[in-house]
A and B are shown apart, each in its own frame.
Chain A
Amino acid sequence: MSWAVRFDNVSKRYPGNNWGYPSLRGDLSRLGRSAAAWLTRRRTEPEGPIALQDISFEVKEGESFALIGPNGAGKTTTLKMLTRISFPSQGRIHVRGRIGALIEVGSGIHPELTGRENIWLYGRIMGMSKPDIARRFDEIVEFAELGHVLDRPVKRYSSGMQLRLGFSIASHIDPDIFVVDEALAVGDAGFQSKCVERMMRLVTEGRTLLFVSHHLQAVEAICKRGIFLLNGRIEAAGSVPDILKSYIAWIDNRQQERWSKIGADNPSGQIVIDRITFHDASGAERTAFRTGEDIEVRLAVRSSRPIVRPNFAVGIGDGRPGALIVCSMAVDGQVPEVIDGPSVVSCRMRGLPLMPRVYQAWCGVRGTHGYGFLLGWQMVGTFRVTEGPTNMTGVSAVSNLSTDAPIHVDHDWDVATGANAMAPALGVEERTR
């Protein structure tokens, strides 16, 4: 299969320094400097912030290709160069076929004009011919679900309605190569799923899709291959599950770093936690685990005087309020009689039912009778689950891991469908009668 889009060592540097407006004064001084450099036969150093550095990739014809990465990584810059809105500073981009873009949809729509006028004008500006628009007008209106407000000025629309109108016009221009940037951030859930369906249809019709989104489930569902951009460079390239894994690992890393900066504060000082470590079933220290593995949370603590029956509790959370798991001596009763000086407190949890992501370990110590804190409930460390259950093959197998419910239980589905599906139920009914 031949390529539809090819980036050859593309770099982009934005003009000017510090993103400011260029000024005649600045340009004149730059002109003077470059003239001086030319006279002295020296090369001038290019100025301005670098948005992309030496990017090369290929998108095959009919392929759905994802660009993922954090804000400011260069995803939008890449698409802008592809759509000839901005131009590379170095390198070449080759394109085969007509490009249609959905870059931050809706901002080109004029607020004073009605929805109808905007479809006619915006559609033509985006490259549709008048007969094209006439043919597809009803389809556009129906897709945007705006039939009832078509003759109202767009400034009276809600912002969601405006964006729906923009997406609808742009998605009906029938390009060979379809570029979508963050379009799914718009509209309600129903409209979002409609957008995904529309994109899927274009893909199955054989169009090439370049898709930029932070919506990782959508990326996983729609795209086969892609790149993970970071600071203007390609951090990972290849199949979508692979690049999603490395992107999610990067996100988790940052999360862990941020959490680890929150140091444990322990002003009361009856019990001090010196160190927290995580260990596997064999006792080896680890920071990353698999779903279903045993984990041992080991606390090295110190007390300034003997403490009778301290009720330790260890909890696991994933950043949202409340703990997912709490193992508390005050509940299970496995309390030591006394601790004094340096001690090691270990809590072994068997078959950790957690999906991959970063977790926080919390710790607190209550007094002999279970009330009053000797050590306030606080986050004391982080660990990661990096590998999920091995038998996951669904459309969101990779991306879903970082968003939805963190607890995993082994489960099976059974689905009966069609005429025979009701048979057992009917049988039961007859027997009970």
Chain B
Amino acid sequence: MATTAVELVIESVTRTRQVDRLRELWAFREVVLAFAERNIRLKYKQAVLGVGWAVLQPLIFLGVFVVVFGRMANVSGGATSYPAFALAALVPWFFVQTSVSFGAQALLMDGALLRKIYFPRETPVLGAVLSSGLDFAVGFALLLGLEPFLGGHLSWYVLMAIPLWLVLAVLTAGVSLLLGALNVYYRDFRYVLPVGLQLWMFASPVAYPLSTVRAQWRNLYVALNPAAGLLDGFRRALAEGRMPDLHLLAASTVAACVIAYVGYWVFKRMEPGFADVV
């Protein structure tokens, strides 16, 4: 039985290498999936509209954007109509918003489990990000159905949404881990988070095109805010039927990976104390 003499040493300073941490996370992938599944089940049970919110949220914002930016501020949709242009960025943006706000709260929501059971603490955060993927899928279906009517051009480039979503998920996972870890120690983040997300949205090309940023600044902008390059990629692929700008996409991917790595590193540094303060 206990013949597998794998010895585990528990001490105050954990000197685990990042590779071993990722290996452990892989061993606990089932737990990530279980958290994701639970979140989805709860979403269906607790909210009357369930996944309907994934459709309503972007639609409501689309209405507001069309009136405020499209009509009043006369923001141009470029190659397409403004509604088609806005929706193609709103759907991925709502993925960022839901996954970061759920991911950053995940550790507090599962405080009871955290105090009782061992699992790598990133699993509930990643589960929350993953479960927001369902909302994205629903929003994506809505988008595919609506774009032709709104004046968007659909082509085979919609398939680019898959790699784009993956990079976006890496980015939101990194941000969620960072904010989630800080959230455990400093509860004020609960109040900062919604405001921060709003600011992030207006700092990203959701309501306006990326072309409003001058060409020479664009790389820096995307490096600082990788969501910008990804949202622009989504817009090109889903509304304009074009290939995303690979140059910007590469910059966003690198930046997203850096943020994810930093987020994971900070999270793992703070992890040992979670159960004591949660």
- Which residue numbers of A lie inside 8 Å of B, CB to CB? 4, 14-16, 21-24, 27, 61, 80-97, 99, 101, 103-104, 107-108, 110, 112-113, 117, 120-121, 124-127, 129-130, 176-177, 205-208
Q: Are B30 and A88 in contact (CB under 8 A)?
A: no
Query: What residues of A have a CB within 8 angstroms of the CB of B5 in the complex?
Result: 96
Cβ–Cβ contact A125 & B117, under 8 A: yes
Verify A87–B1 contact, CB threshold 8 A: no
Residue among A85, A125, A129, A206 with most chain B CB within 10 A: A125
Partner of A117 from B4, B41, B119, B277 at Cβ < 8 Å: B41
Are A130's CB and B117's CB within 8 A? no
A-B contact pairs, 7 of them (CB 8 A): A24-B186, A87-B14, A93-B9, A108-B116, A117-B41, A125-B117, A125-B119
Question: At the interface with chain A, which of B68-76, B107-115, B136-144, B156-164?
Answer: B107-115
Checking A16, A110, A124 against B30 with a beta-carbon cut-off of 8 angstroms, the contacting residue is: A124
Report the nearest A residue to B273, measured CB to CB.
A15
* Residue in chain B with minimal CB distance to A23: B186
A108 and B1 contacting across the interface, CB-CB below 8 Å: no
Chain B's interface size range is 35 or more
Interface residues of B (CB under 8 A from A): 1-2, 4-12, 14, 30-31, 33-35, 37-38, 41-42, 45-46, 112-119, 185-188, 272-273, 275-277
Beta-carbon contact of A125 and B276 below 8 Å: no
A74 to B117, CA, bound (A): 18
Is there an interface contact between B14 and A95, defined as CB atoms closer than 8 Å?
Answer: no
A121→B10 contact, CB < 8 A: no
Would you call B34 and A95 a contact (CB within 8 A)? no
Find chain A residues with CB under 8 A from B30 CB. 124, 129-130
Are A101 and B118 in contact, CB atoms less than 8 angstroms apart?
yes
Could you tell me if B37 and A121 are in contact, using CB atoms closer than 8 angstroms?
yes
Minimum-distance CB pairs A-B, first 7: A124-B34, A97-B2, A93-B10, A176-B2, A87-B272, A108-B113, A95-B8
Cα A82 to Cα B114 with chains together (Å)? 14
Alpha-carbon gap, A146 to B10, bound state (A): 37
Residue of B nearest to A97 (CB): B2
Task: Give the residues in chain B near A99, CB-CB below 8 Å.
Answer: 118
Q: How far is the CA of A279 from the CA of B100 in the complex (A)?
A: 75
- Contact (Cβ within 8 A) B276 A86: yes
Q: Decide: B10 and A88 in contact? CB cutoff 8 A.
A: yes
